[in-house]
């Protein structure tokens, strides 16, 4: 019991820990459902962000489509649309790999929400735009390169 308590205190970020905490009735499920931890948004590189989200071993998938321009003239506004054809998609996360904070947004989908999100992101420089999809407890990923003429981070 003591060890469990310590784990929860140490990192509410680890998805496994949260699952244990839910099972033990320590946290309400509503809290546990709240997507990627804020720590993932603070991560300064893609590897750390994926680790914080528990999506390190994401498998490449052809069922994820990323619609984004090949060349973005203005990095401040890059339209990105992600469609997941994977059955049971529960979340879609969007990364701009070379941004100062790569994780842009994480969308948890439930109660009939389809595997689709569309938004506009900022990109500091030419880089891969990566989507990470979670479905049935597994992670899948796909990426697309977007060339940026004028960066949209900083200024």
Residue 61 CB neighbours (<10 A): 19
Question: Nearer Cβ to other proteins, position 117 or 142?
Answer: 117
CA–CA distance, 95 with 132 (Å, rounded to integer): 8
Stretch that binds other proteins, among 21-29, 55-63, 131-139, 147-155 (CB under 8 A): 147-155
The verdict on 122 binding other proteins (CB under 8 A) reads yes
The verdict on 12 binding other proteins (CB under 8 A) reads no
The verdict on 77 binding other proteins (CB under 8 A) reads yes
The verdict on 150 binding other proteins (CB under 8 A) reads no
Residues in the chain: 155
C-alpha angle 95-96-100 in degrees, rounded to nearest 5: 110
Of residues 17 through 56, those in contact with other proteins by CB under 8 A are: 33-36, 38, 41
CA–CA distance, 43 with 78 (Å, rounded to integer): 21
């Amino acid at each position: 019991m003591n060890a469990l308590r310590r784990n929860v205190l140490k990192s509410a970020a680890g998805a496994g820990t949260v699952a244990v905490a839910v099972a033990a009735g320590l946290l309400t499920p509503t809290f546990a459902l709240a997507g990627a931890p804020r720590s993932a948004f603070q991560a300064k590189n893609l590897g750390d962000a994926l680790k914080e989200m528990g999506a390190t071993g994401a498998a490449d998938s052809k069922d994820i489509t990323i619609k984004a321009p090949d060349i973005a003239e203005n990095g401040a506004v890059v339209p990105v649309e992600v469609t997941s054809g994977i059955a049971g998609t529960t979340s879609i996360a969007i990364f701009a790999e070379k941004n100062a904070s790569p994780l842009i947004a994480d969308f948890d989908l439930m109660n009939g929400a389809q595997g689709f999100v569309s938004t506009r992101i900022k990109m500091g420089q030419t880089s891969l735009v990566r989507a990470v999809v979670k479905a049935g407890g597994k992670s899948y990923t796909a990426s697309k390169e977007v060339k940026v003429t004028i960066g949209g981070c900083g200024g």
